[in-house]
Amino acid sequence: MTTPKRPLPTSLRLAFALAIAIAMMMAACAGKTDAPAKASGTPVAAAATTPDAKPADAPKPAPKVEPVWPDPAPAGWKAFNDYEGTFDPRKTLWGGFWDAWAYRGGKCALSVADEGGSRRLKVEFGLPMSNSQCGTFEYLAGDKGKPKPVDISAFDSIVFLLKSGDADTHKVKFEVTELDPYDAAMQGYTGETPPLAAGKEWVRYEVRFDKVLHPMFDRKKGKQVGIRIDRKDQGDVGSGVILLDNITFVPKAGGTP
Ligand SMILES: [Ca+2]
């Protein structure tokens, strides 16, 4: 069944005509405005190349070492480990013990390295098997083997800097772990980020607690933070070097931890 063809109502035809007219006017206007824009752009370009506007011997701005890190740090940011004087003895800026861990044949060798005017944590990892892992743990408080719970509920997130220490890009997860005094390893829930790329340039990553922590994670009982390097995240390259710096706690908006 077909609908009999009827001529369009006059009002519709008028509307079409109007629409076409408007479209043509707009096209005409676009053509007009285009020309002055090009013309006005020319003097600017010319000015930029005159010696007065830009002396040839003007010193080039020094390349920024950490373009991704705010200086000064925003109010309320609480530095946790900057690796400047925390390596020997192993105490974070909050006073807790920190070190490396390894699992299933993995190994993370820790040192500090001067890079770009700052000391960084250098992690040389070797993950020989398909399920090898290694990483770091940094107690929020407490001596070796004696972590103490720390209330992190006033904080919104952790930020830190990550970079590759060799020619390859590596993948690193960041973890936040709850203290459970009834667990053999005193470990409760662990929240972790997806694998984060450690590449040629420093990148600032943010670990938002609401995103990575289990709803049952008791934020009044934070135990430790750290990185995890998983062989399965690395692709073909099972060993390498990554650099880490400036683990910092960021307070909740309006919070005063
Ligand atoms: Ca540092």
* Structural domain contains residue 82: yes
CA distance 28 to 33: 9
**Ligand 1 is an ion; residues with CB less than 5 A from it:** 82-83, 118-119, 245
Q: How many A from CA of 84 to the centre of ligand 1?
A: 5
Q: How many A from CA of 246 to the centre of ligand 1?
A: 6
Q: Is the pLDDT of residue 12 over 70?
A: no
CATH number at residue 235: 2.60.120.430
CA distance 190 to 208: 13
- Could you tell me if 231 and 133 are in contact, meaning their C-beta atoms sit under 8 angstroms apart? yes
Q: How many A from CA of 247 to the centre of ligand 1?
A: 9
Q: How many A from CA of 73 to the centre of ligand 1?
A: 13
CA atoms within 13 A on the CB side of 90: 17
DSSP letters of 42-78?
A: HHHHHHHHSTTTS-TTPPPPPPPS-TTS-SSPPTT-E
* Structural domain contains residue 35: no
* Structural domain contains residue 46: no
Domain assignment of residue 95, given as a range: 78-251
Q: Is the pLDDT of residue 228 over 70?
A: yes
pLDDT of residue 68: 86
pLDDT of residue 59: 67
* Structural domain contains residue 60: no
Q: Which alpha helices (DSSP H) does the chain contain, by range?
A: 10-49, 209-212
* Structural domain contains residue 65: no
* Structural domain contains residue 8: no
* Total count of domains within the chain: 1
Q: How many A from CA of 82 to the centre of ligand 1?
A: 4
pLDDT of residue 14: 52
What's the token pair of residue 243?
């650099």
Q: How many A from CA of 167 to the centre of ligand 1?
A: 21
* Structural domain contains residue 5: no
* Structural domain contains residue 103: yes
226 - beta bridge partners?
175
Residue carrying the six token digits 């103490």: 148
pLDDT of residue 35: 38
Q: How many A from CA of 245 to the centre of ligand 1?
A: 5
Q: Is the pLDDT of residue 42 over 90?
A: no
pLDDT of residue 1: 42
Q: Is the pLDDT of residue 198 over 70?
A: yes
